[in-house]
């Protein structure tokens, strides 16, 4: 098992276009307003160590995959503006599921877990269930 931490910042609001403004206010409160977080993304991978190399993935490759598939798309962006997240309420749960999908395309079964901390108090762990 190997964990890799990375920081990213993005702005979002919690708002569902399937609900009325009143319903959104009821459900999401102050979070319907645009705001941002310094998220911490932790990607865990697992695999059988290759006896020849002593690795199951080169961390340099893992970092490159996280950079191209996640950071280059999300970091310092407004989530609601991003095509891949259109129509998705950008809760930490939904962002974790989206990140899992983006990484799984490249990592396949090496991907074990995506953990994303939205604030010091809130984080989501997703294992592709
Ligand atoms: N199930 C979820 N609930 C909430 C989410 C979420 O992603 N999933 N997100 C938010 C807001 O984005 C908000 O910015 C974070 O919530 P907040 O209560 O502000 O976070 P803190 O607990 O760190 O804030 P304190 O004011 O210090 O308590 C809300 N809900
Ligand atoms: Zn928020």
Taking only the tens place, the pLDDT of each residue in 110-121 is 999 999 999 999
Which protein residue's CA is at the shortest distance from atom 10 of ligand 1? 31
CATH superfamily of 2-126: 6-pyruvoyl tetrahydropterin synthase/QueD (3.30.479.10)
Query: Residue 21: phi, psi to the nearest 5?
Result: -55, -45
Cβ–Cβ under 8 Å, residues 31 and 97 = no
Q: What is the DSSP letter of 68?
A: I
Collapsing DSSP states into helix, strand and coil, what is residue 2? strand
Cβ–Cβ under 8 Å, residues 22 and 57 = no
The rounded Cα 58 to chain-centroid distance in angstroms is: 21
The segments of the chain whose pLDDT lies below 50 read none
Ranges of each domain in the chain:
2-126
Q: What six digits make up the tokens of 49? A: 């160590």
pLDDT in tens, 79-92: 999 999 999 999 99
Q: How far is the CA of 49 from the centre of ligand 1 (A)?
A: 39
Counting ligands in written order, the one closest to the CA of 88 is 1
User: Tell me, what's the ipTM?
Assistant: 0.90
């Amino acid at each position: 098992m190997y964990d890799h931490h990375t920081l990213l910042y993005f702005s979002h609001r919690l708002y569902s276009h399937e609900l009325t403004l009143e319903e959104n206010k009821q459900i999401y409160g102050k979070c319907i307003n645009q705001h941002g977080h310094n998220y911490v993304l932790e990607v865990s991978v697992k695999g059988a160590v290759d006896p020849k190399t002593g690795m199951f993935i080169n961390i340099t490759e893992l970092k490159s995959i996280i950079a191209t598939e996640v950071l280059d798309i999300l970091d310092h962006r407004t989530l609601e503006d991003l095509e891949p997240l259109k129509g998705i309420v950008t809760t930490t749960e939904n962002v974790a599921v989206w990140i899992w999908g983006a990484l799984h395309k490249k990592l396949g079964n090496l991907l074990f877990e995506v953990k994303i901390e939205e604030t010091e108090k809130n984080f989501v762990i997703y294992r592709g269930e």
